[in-house]
Structure formats: C-alpha cells, structure tokens
Amino acid sequence: MKKATQKEQITEGKTTVPSAKVSNSKPDYRFAVICALIGFLFYANTLTHDYALDDKGVIGQNEFVMQGFKGIKNIFTSDAWHSMNMNLGYYRPFSLATFAIENQFFPGSAMVSHFGNIFLYALTGFFLCLLLMRIFQSYHPLFSLVITILFLTHPIHTEVVANIKSRDEILSFLNLTLAIYFLLSSLSKIKINWVKAVISLLFFYLALLSKETAMAGILLIPLVLYYKNKFSITQILSFTLPFFGILILFQVQKHLVFGSFSSPVIKDVMNYPYTDADIRVPSVFMILTWCAKLILVPYPLSYSYAYNQIPAVGWSSLGTIVGLFLSAGFLYTLYRFIKKRAACDFGLLLFAITIAPALAFVFFKGGIFAERFLYAPVLGFSIIITAILFPLLKSPEQQKDLTISLLLKEKKFSIPLILLFGLYTAQTFSRNADWKNDFTLFRHDVKTASNSCQVHLHYGTVLIQKGIEEQDAMQRKTFFEEGTAELYQTIKINPHTADAYNGLGMAYQYLEPNFDSAIVNYNQAIMEGSNNPLCYIGLASVYEQTGKQELASYYFNKGAEANPFYKQGMALRDAHRKKTGFDIQTFPSAINVDTTESSGEVKDFNFYNNLGKEYGQKGDYANALRCMEKAVALNQSSEEARINLAVCYGMTKQFDKSIEALNQVIAINPNNTTALSNLVVMYDHVGKKDKANDCRRKLKELGK
C-alpha cells in the first residue's frame, strides 16, 4: 500500500491532516519570556493608579461584582451595564467575573485590578509570540519577536491596559490567541490531537464571553489556516465549522439572558451620532480612515471621540474617499493573498478582519469610534511593518545563526525600529500618566478632544465634585467657575446633554447656593430624558433643604425608581422616609391652575407664563401645560411661551403637538436656534429623520 505523503488531503471521516510546511526554525521560549517582561514593564507605572472613567461603574457600583463569588451567577445572567440600570445588549460576563474574584479577596483594591490587567497583558505578549512563531515558522523566531514587541509597545493600547474596565478587550484577544494557538498545535502532526482541539474551542468560547468582538475569530481562523498550511478550502471550512457551532452556542446563551438576538437601538447623539441613514455609510469609511491614521500616528490620544469630535460626513468628505480607497486596497490584497500567501498581505487582511467589529458598530448602531477598537488591529500593522523591514536583512529566512545583536547591527533594519520603539515608549509612558485618575485624564483630554461634549461634561463634573470637597472658599469659587464653564461648553456642543444640566444643578446647590437655579437645572436634566438618579436625588435634597418634604419624598422615590441598583440613592430615600414619615409616590400637587386662578392676582400673559414655568420647575407638567396654553393664547407672538408649551407637550408624550408648536415658533422666527434644536429631538423621536436633518443643516448654517 502506498504510504500517505505529508501533503495528502484528508477524506471525510478520517483524522489525518497534512503537516505544517517545512520549517527552518523552532519556537524560542526565551523570546516569549522577553515579550512578557516588556508587556509588564511598559504598564508597571499604572499599578498605583486609581479607578478611572468607567471603572467604578463596572466594579464599585456593580453589586454583583462586589459580592465576590456569590455574584458570579448573576453576572452570567445580566447585561454588562445592569448596575447603571441600562440594557445595551452587552454580554461580557467573563471579565466581570474576574473582577468579582478579585473583590472576593481584595475588595475595592484598584491596585489589584491594575495588576490583573498588567499580568494578563504580559501573558498576552508571551502567548502571542509563541503563536506568531508557529504561524511564521519559515521565518527566524526574531521575526515574531519584533512583531510582538511592536504590538506590545504601541501607544494605542494605553486605554485598554490602563483602564481596568477594558479588561474585556484583553481577555477577548488573549483567549482568541490561545484558541488559534491550540488549533494549530492540534493540526501540527499527521493525526489531529483532539484534546488540543477541544481546548481550542474552549478558549474561543471564553473569548466570546469576554467580548463579542471575538466573533471576528470565525474569519481569522480560516485566514491563519490558509496562510500556515496548504489545506484545501473544504478542509479549512471543516476545521472552522466547530468554532461556528461555539458561536451559535454563545448567541443562544445571550438570547436566553436578553430574550433577543439583536441589541436595542440607542437614541443618544453623544455616543451614537451616526444613526441617520444618509450619513451612516460614508461615516463608516471615514472612521476607517481615522483608524488607519491613529495606528500610523498615535498622537494625540483621547479616551473619548464622542459627539462632535469626529463629525458625521457625506460622500464628498476626504476621510470618506480615503476610506473607500483603503477598502479597495483590502479587496485587492485578498485577491493577491490567495495566490502568494505573503506575510505583508496576511497582516493587512488581519487588520481588515479585526477592524470590522468597530466599523460594524458604526454601521449597525451609528456608534462612535474608540481607541480600544484598535487593540487587535495593531497586530496586523505590526506584521506589515516587520514584513517590510525584514527583507533588508541578508537572507533572513535562511539565516539560522541570526541573533538579536546581529539584528541590531543591520542599520537599515535596526534604526527605523529603534526610532519607532523610542517614540512608542515615550508616548506610552506619557499617556499612562494621564490615566492616573479621572481628574488627570479629563484635564488632559479636554485639550486633545476639544470638540467632544463628553470630555467637557466629564471634566466639568469632576471639577464641581472637587469643589464640593474643597474647604477653602477661594478654591471652591475657582472650581465653580471652571466647572460651570466646562458644562456650558458641553451644552453649546450638544444642548440636550442631560448630565450637564445635572452638574449645573449640583454647582448651584453646593458651591454657589442658588436653589432656584439648582431646581431649574435639575428639572432640565429630567426634561432631557436623563435616567441618572442623581438628577432626582439632587432635586429631592434641594426640596428637603427648603422644607418642602412632600416634594423631597416624591423625588427620592423617583431616584430609586431610576436606578434601584444605586445603593446611596436607596439609602437617602429610606433615611428621608424614616425622618419625615413621607412616602409620596405621585406628584404632590397641592394646588392647580383652577385654585390659583381664583386668587385676586391679574390673570394676564405674565401671570400664566410665570406660573407655567413654576409648575414646570416642579415637574408638574400637566398644570404647566394648561398655563402655557393660556399664556400663548394671550400673547401669540411670544417665542419663549411657545417653546415652553412645546416642551410641556413633549413631556406629556404629545409629540405631534410639540412639533406643531415649535414650527409655529419657526414661522415667527426662522432663526430661533432653541426651537430648531428641539425640533431635531422631536423629529428624531417620531422617526422623521429627513426633517430632523433639515433642522440640523439649518443649525449648522447658523453656526450652532
């Protein structure tokens, strides 16, 4: 019987595979250790950092995480942001479970959590180097070492490693790396190693449980198999099929948790600014250009690219055109790769596959770009750079005696790399310092992302909080002035930023006491649709301070209703209930328009306009609506009254009437920016995107 050759194709039902192509090198574990050390040392200076940005939301404010082992079961049956009373359809229990384990032994320790991120990043460097040495076995191991170091030192990773919350990204990439590593290991000999094959599937499942972006593995696995081994298309599909089964299992599990395969559509212009149909697709190509730019030149960096840091664009935008050319380049590279299997093409296709989830986020949800989306794509870039530079060495694929010292002596190769490593090192260490805490991060990024309403919001809010904690009167005044300036800048960029009004309410309540202004701003936050319990709690505490205990009770209850997971809000409600005996569930309107009209005061326009605003500030929109209708009837030319009337219609869910009232304002004054801004919101709410866009264009023409 003829003996099977290494390249003999498998037939259905058999367990033999063609072995990997002949190699001139073996994996060097010393290089993997070097990579692990580099990964650890590059972020060791974040060990003393505090919690920053979303860290408190996923750890300190997540009751399941804080329960330690007891909370893990609930973590696996909840949305990742359940602690904020939000259902975004994000199912990432594995990373949250690691936080719960940490808190079982080291509750509330930011240092332990930062160490966890750094350790996992170092582990990523170790196994990534091993995987690359297996993929690029026909190259000297130094080829894989250089790729891995480029990946580990790239400054774009600072958000992922320094921000504890982004452990989901680290775990997703690490588990996917291990899945592919064990898959290749299981296929490295004539017979399939089924134990390693099952381990590979397990790590892919863990990658999906870490973050949904691991679904890109379904395309990465065939790409790696095609580059690494001369398998037929049928064989590659058969090896990939079990991973597709794991993906279906994950989706079924997610469906059982959320009751749906699809994620909810979020109406939030700050984080989802590309939802309109006519700008969504061109914005995808524009974001692709931004991705390429930040990988090539990772400066300046920002934690937020929210509205309106990267404005939506049309097809004529330069960013869109460049993105189209990049996409065409990917397609051409795919065609060329099928024939040549070149390392450079492999890197470019890896970049395209791993950037797909970020672009899908823009396309399907209209969501913003974030630097963490580039965590995996940087690997493709690192492969491309190394593949371009390596041919400058003398026959690198044949040099068995190549060493690091010899590598460094080749100046054409070493000088560009040393310069790159030097720049990366300086930028990474500098950026790490920005992530020390909320204050240092926001203070820095408000300069690098000056058009992001989110950065101004965060910086203004943290300034107000620092002012509240400050004892010195002059310092408190400075914090008030700087903080409110940032919040007003937020409102200038996006007039419907509810949390900005909440911050202003806090400022006028605690720093420069003006209870009327505090009430107005808290109510404005509620009117803008805020689900932040702090708006209600702030309003409740103002009424408590001014002796209006029924109103205080009502708003404490509203705060508990807004987020029942917010323990401080529940505690304040219970304390007020115990102290006063009030438990008001419906708005305590002691008077209404009818009883007020019976007073002896003159019932003119000013009477109803002022009374309506008073009811609105209290949140009594039914009475406010009656007053504003009478005010408009008495003075039909008042733009302010008609806008207030529209707001009342909106708050009472009479959206068509709200739109009608706002259009009446536009008929009086076509340049009324407040009316135009409110029309954008109303039209978006009722699904009339074209009319909303017309108003946006008009606002843009007016410089708003």
HEC assignment per residue over 539-581: HHHHHHHCCCHHHHHHHHHHHHHHCCCCHHHHHHHHHHHHHHC
Residue pair 61/83 in contact (Cβ under 8 Å)? The answer is yes
Q: Identify the pLDDT of residue 525.
A: 87
Q: Is residue 586 part of a domain?
A: no
Percent of the chain with pLDDT over 70: 91
The token pair that represents 351 in the structure block: 């970049």
Total structural domains within the chain: 3
The token pair that represents 401 in the structure block: 């005696």
Q: 497: closest CA among 457, 536, 533? A: 457
Q: Is residue 585 part of a domain?
A: no
Domain closes at, from 360, 391, 422: 391
User: What is the spatial distance between Cα 104 and Cα 109, in angstroms, rounded to a whole number?
Assistant: 11
Q: Identify the pLDDT of residue 377.
A: 97
User: What is the spatial distance between Cα 534 and Cα 546, in angstroms, rounded to a whole number?
Assistant: 18
pLDDT tens sequence across 253-286: 998 988 776 666 667 788 889 988 788 999 999 9
Check whether residue 279 and residue 318 sit in a common domain. Answer: yes
Percent of the chain with pLDDT over 90: 59
List all residues 6 or more positions away from 272 whose beta carbon is below 8 Å from its beta carbon.
Answer: 266, 365, 366, 367, 368
Residue pair 173/212 in contact (Cβ under 8 Å)? The answer is no
Q: Is residue 674 part of a domain?
A: yes
Check whether residue 545 and residue 650 sit in a common domain. Answer: no
H/E stretch holding 272: none
Check whether residue 322 and residue 357 sit in a common domain. Answer: yes
Question: Which of 34-43, 305-314, 570-579, 679-688 has the largest mean confidence?
Answer: 34-43
Q: Identify the pLDDT of residue 277.
A: 76
Check whether residue 490 and residue 384 sit in a common domain. Answer: no
User: What is the spatial distance between Cα 505 and Cα 525, in angstroms, rounded to a whole number?
Assistant: 9
Check whether residue 694 and residue 609 sit in a common domain. Answer: yes
Average pLDDT for the chain: 88
Domain closes at, from 374, 391, 408: 391
Which residue would you say has higher pLDDT here, 160 or 623? Answer: 160
User: What is the spatial distance between Cα 144 and Cα 166, in angstroms, rounded to a whole number?
Assistant: 26
List all residues 6 or more positions away from 109 whose beta carbon is below 8 Å from its beta carbon.
Answer: 102, 103
Q: Is residue 416 part of a domain?
A: no
Whichever domain contains 607, its CATH number is: 1.25.40.10
Query: Looking at the predicted structure, is the pLDDT value of residue 182 above 60?
Result: yes
User: What is the mean pLDDT of the segment spanning 393-422?
Assistant: 74
Count Cβ atoms below 10 Å from residue 482 Cβ, excluding itself. 16
User: What is the mean pLDDT of the segment spanning 461-479?
Assistant: 94
Check whether residue 313 and residue 361 sit in a common domain. Answer: yes
Q: Is residue 430 part of a domain?
A: no
Q: Identify the pLDDT of residue 7.
A: 41
Check whether residue 576 and residue 445 sit in a common domain. Answer: yes
List all residues 6 or more positions away from 688 whose beta carbon is below 8 Å from its beta carbon.
Answer: none
Burial of 166 (0-12, 13-18, 19+ CB in 10 A): buried
User: What is the spatial distance between Cα 158 and Cα 430, in angstroms, rounded to a whole number?
Assistant: 10
Q: Is residue 364 part of a domain?
A: yes
Q: Which residue has the tokens 């994620």?
A: 263
Distances (CA, A) of 511 to 69, 443, 467: 41, 20, 7
Q: Model confidence at 316, in pLDDT bands (50, 70, 90)? A: very high
Q: Identify the pLDDT of residue 598.
A: 58
> At 679, is the secondary structure helix, strand, or coil?
helix
Q: Identify the pLDDT of residue 609.
A: 85
pLDDT tens sequence across 322-367: 999 999 999 999 888 988 889 999 999 999 999 999 999 999 888 9
Check whether residue 557 and residue 608 sit in a common domain. Answer: no
Domain closes at, from 391, 416, 450: 391
Residue pair 147/382 in contact (Cβ under 8 Å)? The answer is yes
Q: Is residue 16 part of a domain?
A: no
The residue segments making up the domain with residue 318 are 266-391
User: What is the spatial distance between Cα 271 and Cα 491, in angstroms, rounded to a whole number?
Assistant: 15
Check whether residue 566 and residue 447 sit in a common domain. Answer: yes
pLDDT tens sequence across 576-605: 999 988 888 877 764 556 656 555 555 788
Check whether residue 273 and residue 317 sit in a common domain. Answer: yes
Check whether residue 296 and residue 370 sit in a common domain. Answer: yes
Check whether residue 377 and residue 499 sit in a common domain. Answer: no
User: What is the spatial distance between Cα 205 and Cα 93, in angstroms, rounded to a whole number?
Assistant: 12
Q: Is residue 314 part of a domain?
A: yes
